Structure 1
Amino acid sequence: MSRSRAVGLLLGFAADRLLGDPRRGHPVAAFGRVARGLEHRLHGDSRLRGTVHTAVLVGGCAGIGVAVEHATGGRPLLHAAATAAATWTVLGGRTLEREALAVHDLLAADDLPAARQRLTHLVGRDPTGLPADEVARAVVESVAENTSDAVTVPLVWGAVGGVPGLLAHRAANTLDAMVGHRTARYERFGWASARLDDVLGLPGSRYAALCVLAAAPSRAGEAWRAWRRDAAAHPSPNAGVVEASFAGSLGVTLGGTNRYGDRVEHRPVLGSGRPVRPGDVPRATALARRVDRLAAVVAAGAVGAAGAVVCLRTRRGASWGTRPLPGRRLRERAPG
């Protein structure tokens, strides 16, 4: 199963790079509709209600994944196909790149109003009145954060937990985007979704930052210093790590003032380079693409290697168990 899981992760990653997200009928959109319907029934200014909401939805997706693993167990080709389909469903690296470059193209064409509008496909901040450099900063920050959320973190959970891990993480991450906001409606109800997404993102965000170091070795020192120096000041325990490493690798400064409706956040400065310019968007997407490929290959390779070690140990154990003990054959042949 480990070998078919590794193959499935690579095939699903390749499908995302080639095809991106389907324009219609995306399973994540269907999950969002189910989550919204359940929210209408359960919502209240209560952490308990929010925890139930999260547990039902994330647990349900994990249960579907367990059923898929059980149904395809023992059939490597079918298991690899199911893992590939789940991986393609939850990854979003190609679509992230397309959206980022679409904003860049509008900035390059000096169509700032259209670039601001297109930016809303990537971030939740209010783009009204943002100059071109601030639009570009928002895009680079989104590329960095979502390289972790939409690629490296699901790859980690896919490697560790197979289809259940892939689906459970995507459910938690989607719920965080839907209800994990510090607003009057979701301050308490969305608490469980936000905390669960933080916990699930811890290993994958660090993995993303390590992949940034490896994907751009000539800038690894600056990326490492920005990570160690600046990441902890970010309000997110995961976004800060990957955004800081991207800032150091690209030689730019991220962070600043962001407006979310009536709420204003002053994010800490990440990196020690110059401010972001529109031309940095293609550089950020190119770095993200290298990180994605490296993360997929290493994750699949780790799964395959772990499976090979387990298989080797199992065979050795079986061989030892059937090998006659010293002197046993002689005793058996001795006359009674």
Structure 2
Amino acid sequence: MALMGLDIAWARPSNADILSTGACFVARYLSPDDTKNLTAAEVQGYPPDGISIVVVWESTEQRMLDGYAAGAADAQAAENQLKAVGLPDSMPIYFACDFDVQGGQLSTINDYMRGVNSVIGLGRSGFYGSYYAVENVAAAPATATYFWQADAWSDSKWSGHANIRQDGGTALGGSADIDHAMTDDYGQYPRFVAAPVPAPLPAPTTSLGDDEMAVFSEGPLPEGFASDIKGNEIDHSKARVISLPPKNSGSAGWGGVWLSFACDFATVRLRVAICNAAGQFRINFFDFTPGKRVSVPIFDGDQYVSVGRVQGFGDGAEPVGYLIEAVKK
């Protein structure tokens, strides 16, 4: 499911107002106009309430038609503002092409983006524009990594390259445009970190030898919803806390651990929080379609798992079960 966000320029809604719309992120501006720009207070204030931040540079409407040198100058100005408000220099920056691009202008826009990349690097550069502009920039070499497509001038078409879609709707009395993030990493702060990929575990076996997989525990998940789509608690009694084998490595006890979930009858989303010995949590969301078994990565030092259903997926009563298998040393 795509995450909703708001593109906000001059308005300054409270975090509560933003969250009341269902938004999980805000897109805020870097520009020559200080009255609409992102502030250090916002950078510090949004994340504690679960609101991520996307930044976009915008100056004059057809600025990109000034080509490579303009792109380099704008990227340097955007980078300076980014650092001034306390965002990290790993943060992607979108650059706005906010007009109806014509065919003869496309190569100049590509040159502008290459100018941007000469300052912040290709891996951090993002492009905002219409379907046709996004498709052009995405097809050209060394232009942008992130894409944000506007509904305007797009003839109801959506690019498969778009990390964010600006759908054309508004919120907060028309002071904010509605967006949807289409990918896990859409250039947001705090920066997206993919879950580590574990080493392959031995496949489960039905017969036990001296060092084979055995069922450690299994059972159903409670009915009802433990959290909303943003991971906020609804009813913690609807979550199940699952203990993992007491020793996940070594020559004795339990070895590699295999945790999996399966469901039937409907698509279900689970919020899975894994706690290690240091008290640190890894929280991820997993979608399960009928009859599909999904494994969740478990690492040395992990101690227990808290798992619950996410509201908005199924009716909360579908059969969902968990299974923990481990190597018995």
TM-score normalised by the shorter chain: which range applies? under 0.3
Higher relative contact order (CA 8 A, sep 6+): 1
Taking structure 2 as the reference length, what is the TM-score of the superposition? Answer: 0.23
TM-score with structure 1 setting the length: 0.23
